[in-house]
Amino acid sequence: MDQALKEHIQSLIPTDFPDGRTLLQEGVELGHKIQVPRTKFLEKHQCRTYLEYRKKRLAEGKQTWQLLLGLATLEDELDAIRKIHEFSERTGMEISGVQSIPSQIVGLPLEYWDKFPKQTSYEMRSPADWKAHNDAAPIQVAWQDFHLACPAALQTTINALEAGTDRLGCVSTFVWDYTGYYDEKQRFSDMVRSLGILSTKKDLDIDAVTYPEDGLPGYFLDIASWVGYMLVENYIVSDLCHANFGISYGGLLTAVQPRMAFALAMHRLLSTEDHPVLTYFNGGTIDQIPNDINCNFGTGVQEMLIQILFNLKYNTPTIISPVAVTECLRTPSLEELLDIAAAGIRAETKAQEWLPLMDFTVIEEMSELLMEKGQKFFHNVLDSFKEAGVDIEDPLQMIMVLKRFNPVKFEQIFHPSIAETGSFKPYCPSQLGRQTMDLKENIVSDLRSKHCNLSGKRMICASADGHSYGLMLIDKVFSELGASVVNGGVDVEPAALLDLADEEGITHICISTHCGQCLAYAQQLRQIAADRNRTYHIAMGGMFTALLPGNKLPVDVREQIIETGVYADNDIEKQIEFLFQ
């Protein structure tokens, strides 16, 4: 191994953290004391576990459907669960599950809530709040977001299990940061303890679920790297922590062949007869268009249909989780979610007619390539970590080294093409990576034709949350136009962003935002700038919706952001005019 790489990996190893194996055993001891109730849904269907229900449905040639639901208040959420059950009873179109998406603030200990930016979903404070979900109606409710890998992991894990969840996540989001919380030792020690708890619930088919799009693979340009990285997470969860590992996928994998080849690769590498590794498919959003919402039914139905055919072909009880046609604009309403689910369930009625017409040869050949290169990627990671002195049998140490690794460099260092060709060359490029680069080329070409030149300009680009592609876009556009760009990274807090600006002597900043905190973020920037008596020129792009008092759904807050002095627009030409002219 290159000495510089060896020294870099060594620099990422935590020096004062407890032994992860000890933490794991503490979690196991806790787990034996935690009782997971049989939910109303499981009692109704006379199933011991939700996986048993999923397998039963598939044996009957039927699919399992769920909705991702995160409304403004807990009362709204519980009412929606009841309405989903009423819909299923009234129409005969069975939506059996809800994956509940609370506010990210739920992932923080209560003492940190006051300083956390307001987001677009509801809050839960006590164990009773979790239990209220599965008590609301015979609908199976699970929690994946802001639980297993968050600062409050131990409490959220226990609360969700005692409420009857069938899975917990999201493993991949250990790379996310939480505004105002900095105790990595406590946070990730509790994550390992929580994995220990889950290891005692394998007999209940409860999974530690990941979603690659929200972790390191969200930065990767090759689907083969996704496969390799999933094997790394599986190694930590299954081999080291002895818990069930589940994979959800789909949001950024909207190209049909790579998405299904990825799913097939993971199924063949990790599924067993007792435990299928594919937990649920999540509909995509990057192909949606905002100016004619109903057109998005077309892309939504076709991706659900191919997943149905895949499930039937390969006997995988993968849950289908459709995405509403308004997802590209804002958090959808319950009615919009029911509309897209109904369209998918109706498409399911024709699946058996479609199946004999389908030829999966291309997907199978692509999956073989992904398995071959993904396994090489995995072994490159483990071999390099071990040679550098990482204790690869310590789950905490593995998590911390991955957490501290630059994700772009991670892919380029361990990618098999480096050894094969001497340079990074994707085998199966990711669609969002391609789209981002194509969009960058179009924007740069257009602005150069208008004689836009930012030579001599210095600026900072950063992301307000854990999403990376918006940051990648603005960084590359401004850089190729000649600006000297300091990349502030993802999950950057307002105070840290302005600290970086002051350290670099830079007053021009562009921010990418996605998770509904845009207005609160802009307001904090204004306040901090006023407190420092400093003037900054700040532009923001991304999603401009937030939850305001009196509204059950997020609303457009672009004008309110602009009133703070932060310019809000997704037109980069207009951003440049604001920042530099």
Q: Tell me what the mean pLDDT of segment 471-500 comes to.
A: 91
Q: What is the DSSP letter of 141?
A: E
Q: Tens of pLDDT along 373-424?
A: 999 999 999 999 999 999 999 999 999 999 999 888 999 899 999 999 988 8
Q: How confident is the model at residue 302 (pLDDT cuts 50, 70, 90)?
A: very high
| The pLDDT value given to residue 291 | 84
Strands 66-69, 97-100: pairing is parallel
Q: Where are the domains of the chain?
A: 3-356, 431-580
Q: How confident is the model at residue 183 (pLDDT cuts 50, 70, 90)?
A: very high
> Across the chain, what does the average pLDDT equal?
94
Q: Tell me what the mean pLDDT of segment 539-567 comes to.
A: 87
CATH placement of domain 3-356:
3.20.20.240
Checking if the pLDDT of 469 tops 80, the result is no
CA–CA separation, 60 vs 148, rounded Å? 33
Place of tokens 């799009």: 213
Three-class DSSP category at 313: helix
Checking if the pLDDT of 468 tops 80, the result is no
CA–CA separation, 458 vs 484, rounded Å? 5
Q: How confident is the model at residue 266 (pLDDT cuts 50, 70, 90)?
A: very high
φ and ψ at residue 505, rounded to 5 degrees: 70, 35
Q: Tens of pLDDT along 87-140?
A: 999 999 999 999 999 999 999 999 999 988 777 789 999 999 999 999 999 999
Partners of residue 99 on adjacent β-strands? 68, 142
Checking if the pLDDT of 432 tops 80, the result is no
Q: What is the DSSP letter of 293?
A: G
Q: Tens of pLDDT along 20-35?
A: 999 999 999 999 999 9
| The pLDDT value given to residue 442 | 92
What proportions of the chain, in percent to the nearest 5, are helix, strand and coil?
55, 10, 35
| The token pair that represents 359 in the structure block | 């030829």
Query: Quick one: which H or E segment has residue 66?
Result: strand 66-69
| The pLDDT value given to residue 467 | 75
| The pLDDT value given to residue 158 | 98
| The pLDDT value given to residue 296 | 93
Q: CB of 154 within 8 A of CB of 107? A: no
Residue type, 477: V
| The pLDDT value given to residue 408 | 82
Place of tokens 């609908």: 139
| The pLDDT value given to residue 424 | 85
Q: Tell me what the mean pLDDT of segment 511-524 comes to.
A: 88
CATH architecture, domain defined by 431-580: 3-Layer(aba) Sandwich (3.40)
Instruction: Give the DSSP letter string of 234-278.
Output: HIIIIIIT--EEEEEE-SS--SHHHHHHHHHHHHHHH--SS--SE
**% of the chain with per-residue pLDDT over 70:** 99
Checking if the pLDDT of 285 tops 80, the result is no
CA–CA separation, 106 vs 108, rounded Å? 5
